[in-house]
Structure 1
């Protein structure tokens, strides 16, 4: 009675272990899928970095224009020279 029970237990354990193990093909397919997903994420990240660089360039351009306008407004405007008759110097 003990031998058939032991054989049945070993058979059940072997079947359980065999069912839990993934085949190497499955592992290769999973690895391929993960690599493709990683590549897509890297592409998306690169696109976001490019967009951010464009926005930074536009912001720098806008800031330079604003500084130029501020400098023009802050500069004293020189009035147009008027030609007035010169007064003789008093002695």
Structure 2
């Protein structure tokens, strides 16, 4: 009786585990989906990096223009010779 019960219990456990296991095709499809999602995320990240590089270039250009304007303002104006000063 115990032997029959043990065999039945093992058979039920085996069938239960087999029913819960996903097929390799399902796993392959999920892996493909995850790969596609990760590629999309990588593309989004690369776009953000490119945008940041453009903003940095624009900021550097604006800073250079600002420095040039400040240098012009800081330079003393050359005295203008007037006929009265001669």
The answer, yes or no, to whether TM exceeds 0.5 is yes
Compute the RMSD of aligned alpha carbons.
1.5
| 2:19 aligned residue | 19
Greater Cα radius of gyration, structure 1 or 2: 1
C-alpha deviation, 1:85, in angstroms: 7.7
Q: Which runs of 4+ in 1 moved over 6 A?
A: none
For residues 19-60 of structure 1, what are the alpha-carbon distances to aligned partners after superposition, in whole Å with 9 as ceiling and x for unaligned? 232211011011001000000000100110011011101100
Deviation at 1:3, TM superposition (A): 2.9
1: distance between equivalents of 2:74 and 2:6?
Answer: 97
Matched residues, number: 86
Which structure 1 segments of 5+ residues have no match? 87-91
* In 2: Cα distance, 1:85 partner to 1:20 partner: 103
Q: 1:79, CA displacement in angstroms?
A: 2.0
Decide which structure has greater helix share: 2
**Alpha-carbon spacing, 1:20–1:85, altered in 2? closer, same or farther (3 Å):** closer
TM-score by length of 1: 0.85
In structure 2, the partner of 1:83 is 83
So what's the TM-score if we normalise by structure 2? 0.90
Aligned to 1:32: 32
Q: Which runs of 5+ in 2 are unaligned?
A: none
